[in-house]
Amino acid sequence: MNALQLGLSINNCALFATLSIRASLIFPPTDISDLPSSYRKTMTTTTQEVYSYRKGSVTTKLYGRDLSEYEDIDIDSLLTKLTPEELEELNSEVDPDNSLLPPSQRCRDQTTKSPTGPFRREELLKFLEEKAKNEADWEEKVPFKQGVKRGKAYVPSVVEEKKETFGIDLAKALEMDEVEIALSEATENDLVDLAGILGMHSMLTQTQYHNVVKGKSQDEENSSFSGMLFISDEHDDTAVDNCVLSDTVVKSTPLKFVPDEPANNTDVLDCIRRLNENDPSLTEVNINNMKTISRENVKKLIEAAKCSTHLENFFLANTALSDADAHGLIELLEMSKSLKNLNVESNFLTGEFLIALLQATLKQQCLVEIHVENQRAAVLGNKVEMELARIVEENDSLLRVGISFQSMDARYRVSYAIEKNYERLRLQRVQADEE
């Protein structure tokens, strides 16, 4: 091995660190008696003694010389002065730092003997097995004797389990006798409340449980158990195994029959007559849920409403109105100064008609409440919703708008516009009170 091959296989930094250990061969240290006492002796791999001076935790000198003196040393010239034995020893102490080499070649070669023959795996295993059988056992300090036990058997320490007291002092906790006395004196109504507090849903009806949650007292019908009850012998410790079930399913609460709401019996023809006569006592017309009314009467009713100056509430919800049937409402909103509330929910109106309907409210600015939800189109669309929001922002009288907006922007704009209208009314009321 020459100096060039060694220089290619190791890193310069590692080479310098290793050569510094061997530098005593070329630069022997000064006389030990001349060194100060602050120098500390360090062990090296050579037979000579090397001294280094440390200032704090940073080494300032190495082998009696400053570190700056080693920076200009020619490493190649140092390698040429080493003998082959020293080069071999140096190579064995430094691993090659080359990622291109296979892992088997990056390790130090620790075997210098020549192979005795070709590698045969079967013969090697046979040799190892015979050698293991022929070798004597290791000498034991205490020989093994069959049946003799040495030492002590491991006994785990017993840790007492701490019972949960839930923050209650055990000395002040209720004894079982006191609990039994309290339960024996409790009425069945109290036990029903206790079962509801403990969450025993299988023992209570829905009405009983809701009364417990709301803190209401149980009435006579709900003051007793109607579900699963355990009946066992008082003196039997295994009462759970010998229990008897009175009922396996909680009895449901009987349904309360509520009579149907009466049908809308509004006389449409009489309303048309009174509206045409401008009857001051007729301030509300309600034909909700009257789907059997003819289309002609609906149109006549809307036309007659234009003649009334006292009509305030006009309800036409769930009457199967179409755009053609309700077209007169646009003229009604443009003409009427008394109309405050209009309800046309659950009909077959389109988004374009709703825009025209709200646009008509801007002329008189007197409508306070309008409801137009649940039409044929479940979703009006972003364009229609933004147009409706713009119209509501321009209206200074609307306080309630019954429209389902899918767009968050339109919903926010409408709510903000209604809030401004409420604030405007408040300021007017405050100003009137001051005057």
What are the pLDDT digits (tens) for 258-302?
A: 888 888 999 999 999 999 999 999 999 999 999 889 999 999 999
Mean of pLDDT values over 114-130: 90
Classify residue 344 as exposed, middle or buried by CB count within 10 Å of its CB (0-12, 13-18, 19+): buried
- For residue 222, give both structure tokens: 């709900």
- For residue 202, give both structure tokens: 């299988």
Pairing, β 50-52 against β 341-343: unpaired
The pLDDT, as a whole number, for residue 398 is: 96
Is 404:381 a contact under the CB 8 Å cutoff? no
The length of the chain, given as a count of residues = 435
Better-predicted residue by pLDDT, 423 or 192: 423
The pLDDT, as a whole number, for residue 176 is: 56
- For residue 74, give both structure tokens: 């020619």
The pLDDT, as a whole number, for residue 167 is: 61
**39 pLDDT exceeds 90?**
no
DSSP letters along 384-427, please?
A: HHHHHHHHHHH-SS--EEE-----HHHHHHHHHHHHHHHHHHHH
The pLDDT, as a whole number, for residue 237 is: 47
* Apex 192 CA angle, 186 and 194, nearest 5: 75
- For residue 56, give the amino acid letter: G
Better-predicted residue by pLDDT, 363 or 226: 363
Q: How confident is the model at residue 171 (pLDDT cuts 50, 70, 90)?
A: low
Q: What is the CB neighbour count within 10 angstroms for residue 222?
A: 21
**92 pLDDT exceeds 80?**
no
Classify residue 310 as exposed, middle or buried by CB count within 10 Å of its CB (0-12, 13-18, 19+): middle
What percent of the chain has pLDDT above 90?
41
Q: How confident is the model at residue 47 (pLDDT cuts 50, 70, 90)?
A: very low
DSSP letters along 300-320, please?
A: HHHHHHTT-SS--EEE-TTS-
First to last CA, the chain: 115
The pLDDT, as a whole number, for residue 46 is: 38
Q: Which residues are registered as beta bridge partners of 290?
A: none
The pLDDT, as a whole number, for residue 256 is: 80
Pairing, β 244-245 against β 230-231: antiparallel
Q: How confident is the model at residue 365 (pLDDT cuts 50, 70, 90)?
A: very high
Q: d(Cα 317, Cα 7) in Å, to the nearest integer? A: 99
The whole-chain average pLDDT of the chain stands at: 78
Please tell me what DSSP assigns to residue 111: -
**1 pLDDT exceeds 50?**
no
What is the separation of C-alpha 76 from the centre of its chain, rounded to a whole number of angstroms?
Answer: 66
Q: What is the CB neighbour count within 10 angstroms for residue 272?
A: 19
201-246 residue pLDDT tens: 777 777 788 788 888 877 766 666 665 444 444 444 444 444 444 4
Q: d(Cα 342, Cα 372) in Å, to the nearest integer? A: 9
Domains of the chain plus CATH, in order, are 3-99 (no CATH), 179-245 (no CATH), 268-434 (3.80.10.10)
What is the separation of C-alpha 6 from the centre of its chain, rounded to a whole number of angstroms?
Answer: 61
Q: How confident is the model at residue 78 (pLDDT cuts 50, 70, 90)?
A: confident
Better-predicted residue by pLDDT, 421 or 378: 421
Mean of pLDDT values over 359-369: 96
Q: How confident is the model at residue 96 (pLDDT cuts 50, 70, 90)?
A: low
Better-predicted residue by pLDDT, 20 or 385: 385
Query: Which stretch, 209-218, 249-258, 382-391, has highest mean pLDDT?
Result: 382-391
**119 pLDDT exceeds 60?**
yes
Phi-psi region for residue 311, left (φ > 0), alpha (ψ -120 to 50) or beta?
Answer: beta
- For residue 92, give the amino acid letter: S
- For residue 85, give the amino acid letter: E
What percent of the chain has pLDDT above 70?
73
Strands, E assignment, 206-322: 230-231, 244-245, 284-286, 313-315
* Backbone angles phi and psi of 283, in degrees to 5: -110, -5
User: How far lies 242's CA from each of 180, 183, 203, 226, 323, in Å?
Assistant: 20, 21, 19, 21, 73
- For residue 244, give both structure tokens: 């008897």
The pLDDT, as a whole number, for residue 106 is: 74
- Give the residue among 397, 395, 430 at the shortest CA–CA distance from 413: 395
Is 398:421 a contact under the CB 8 Å cutoff? yes
Q: How confident is the model at residue 99 (pLDDT cuts 50, 70, 90)?
A: confident
Better-predicted residue by pLDDT, 151 or 303: 303
Mean of pLDDT values over 416-425: 96
Mean of pLDDT values over 414-434: 94
Q: How confident is the model at residue 166 (pLDDT cuts 50, 70, 90)?
A: low
Q: Max alpha carbon distance in the chain (Å)? A: 136
Q: Which residues are registered as beta bridge partners of 188?
A: none
The pLDDT, as a whole number, for residue 193 is: 82
Q: d(Cα 306, Cα 329) in Å, to the nearest integer? A: 9
Phi-psi region for residue 215, left (φ > 0), alpha (ψ -120 to 50) or beta?
Answer: left
- Give the residue among 368, 334, 369, 330 at the shortest CA–CA distance from 349: 330
